[in-house]
Amino acid sequence: MSRKLFTSESVTSGHPDKLCDYISDKILDSILEKDPNAHVACEVTASMGLIHVMGEINTDCYVDINKIVREVVTSVGYTSSDSGLDGNTCGVIVSINSQSGDINMGVCESLENKNGDTSPESQIGAGDQGMMFGYACNETPELMPMPICLAHKLAKKLEEVRKNNILNYLRPDGKTQVTVEYHDNIPKRVHNIIVSAQHSDNINLEQIKSDIKKYVINTVIDKNLIDENTEIFINPTGRFVIGGPMGDTGLTGRKIIVDTYGGYACHGGGAFSGKDPTKVDRSGAYAARYVAKNIVKSGVCDRCEVQIAYSIGVSRPVSIMINTFGTCKYKNLTDEKLSDIVQEIFDLRVSSIIKNFDLRRPIYSQLSSYGHMGREDLNVPWEKIDKTEIIQKYIKNIVQE
């Protein structure tokens, strides 16, 4: 029996980086609500009472960015300098330019379109080059790795008990981390848990430890996963009063591993937040998750990683790779053959992804915290498992050859 430990982390929406992601996506949503065809690349930094909004945006509509920033900051819980930031009084700087014309012409008219393919599905070119990864496994009902699932659930619960005044001394900033022990690649137990929660200055550490264990950890982690050897660390430094942008500068796109699979799978490097769906960093990663999830759900394998690569200005992927990590259930079904099947079943042109997932809607700010993948609670289209039957039919034909 092989034994290994794997660790993933999550953060609350009040973490400085996640606050920036939230602002970026809220600006994106506000623009898409008025102009679904807008091209948006919006990034934010937050530090010491100052929010700086930057980026490139092409749109005919107007949104009040200053107002959006303040609404997001206060909704997260930063309403006084004691918590690390006051959304009512913080400084807001806006530095927005239009999208480069060199990029825009490749997005608006793909290489295929210029070469005579006038179909609507080939009209739009990718907004950048790059590679995106999708992943799925049968460790959890969401077909996500267990460590990141548990870390997200702990972080969400930490925010919930704060906002519902169950633990009214908590402040917006917080982090969680979970290490899972695997036996022969099967999760067996939780090895350790770390929760770091920002708090007011008038509460002692022992009370914090007792409350978080009772109201957060014990309500989230299955008791069968915890044993007498599971280590639990709560605010291990002993104090977490200074938090938010006062304690650490925030930046859009700095929690890309939290946004995806917790490090359990590869990552192409591109961030999601603040980007409209012509940016394949976002839409391509959603499509890759969709493919991987449907393959695992169809029973082909226990684990599946999908890589899709694009070229700027080109609608179709320049490469597709499938890796089942030796867990495929069919002897004569290679990863290469599975890749060919994916290209037959899934239309991964940029326009098709946008259309099939209806990505020009203002749906993104709700995804800015607690992961973009495995979000069945939000009914996002890339979590659908509607291709399993056709995958099984293709597999059956290959097996019978």
Q: Which two tokens stand for residue 294?
A: 């449907």
Cα distance between residue 27 and residue 126, in whole Å? 22
323-375 residue pLDDT tens = 999 999 998 899 999 999 999 999 999 999 999 999 999 999 999 999 999 99
Binned at pLDDT 50, 70 and 90, residue 309 comes out as very high
**Higher pLDDT residue, 129 or 251?**
251
What is the rounded average pLDDT of the residues 284-307?
Answer: 97
Q: What is the pLDDT of residue 332?
A: 86
Does residue 145 register a pLDDT over 70? yes
Please write down the HEC assignment for all residues of the chain.
CCEEEEEEEEECCCCHHHHHHHHHHHHHHHHHHHCCCCEEEEEEEEECCEEEEEEEEECCCCCCHHHHHHHHHHHHCCEEHHHCEECCCCEEEEEEECCCHHHHHHHHCCHHHHCCCCCHHHCCCECCCEEEEEEEECCCCCCCCHHHHHHHHHHHHHHHHHHCCCCCCEEEEEEEEEEEEEECCEEEEEEEEEEEEEECCCCCHHHHHHHHHHHHHHHHCCHHHCCCCCEEEECCCCCCCCCHHHHCCEECCCCHHHHCCCCCCCCCCCCCCCECCCCHHHHHHHHHHHHHHHHHHCCCCCEEEEEEEECECCCCCCEEEEECCCCCCCCCCCHHHHHHHHHHHCCCCHHHHHHHHCCCCCCCHHHCCCCCCCCHHHCCHHHCCCCHHHHHHHHHHHHCC
What is the rounded average pLDDT of the residues 76-83?
Answer: 87
Q: What is the pLDDT of residue 109?
A: 55
173 Cβ partners below 8 Å, 6+ apart?
Answer: 12, 14, 15, 16, 84, 197, 198, 240, 243, 244, 247
Does residue 128 register a pLDDT over 90? no
Q: What is the pLDDT of residue 311?
A: 92
Cα distance between residue 74 and residue 77, in whole Å? 5
Taking CA atoms, 255 is separated from 159, 258, 263, in Å, by 18, 5, 11
Own/partner contacts of 205-214, CB < 8 Å, gap of 24 or more, are 205/235, 205/238, 205/239, 208/169, 208/234, 208/235, 209/234, 209/235, 211/167, 212/158, 212/167
Burial code (b: 16+ CB inside 10 Å, e: under 16) for 313-329 equals bbbbbeebbbbbeeebe
Q: Around Cβ 344, how many Cβ atoms within 10 Å?
A: 10
Is the separation of the CB atoms in 192 and 230 below 8 Å? yes
Q: What is the pLDDT of residue 117?
A: 64
165-211 residue pLDDT tens = 999 999 999 999 999 999 999 999 999 999 999 999 999 999 999 99
Q: What is the pLDDT of residue 108?
A: 60
Q: Which two tokens stand for residue 243?
A: 């938090």
Q: What is the pLDDT of residue 65?
A: 97
What is the rounded average pLDDT of the residues 126-152?
Answer: 94
Does residue 51 register a pLDDT over 70? yes
Percent of the chain with pLDDT over 70: 94
Binned at pLDDT 50, 70 and 90, residue 21 comes out as very high
Q: Around Cβ 384, how many Cβ atoms within 10 Å?
A: 16
Binned at pLDDT 50, 70 and 90, residue 32 comes out as very high
**Higher pLDDT residue, 98 or 233?**
233
Q: What is the pLDDT of residue 82?
A: 77
State the virtual CA torsion across 193, 15, 287, 26 in degrees, nearest 10. 150
Does residue 1 register a pLDDT over 70? yes
Q: What is the pLDDT of residue 401?
A: 55
What is the rounded average pLDDT of the residues 107-120?
Answer: 64
Q: What is the pLDDT of residue 62?
A: 95
Average pLDDT, the chain: 93
Cα distance between residue 367 and residue 273, in whole Å? 9
Percent of the chain with pLDDT over 90: 86
**Higher pLDDT residue, 80 or 217?**
217
Is the separation of the CB atoms in 8 and 263 below 8 Å? yes
Does residue 283 register a pLDDT over 80? yes
Helix axes of 335-345 and 280-297: crossing angle, nearest 10 degrees: 110
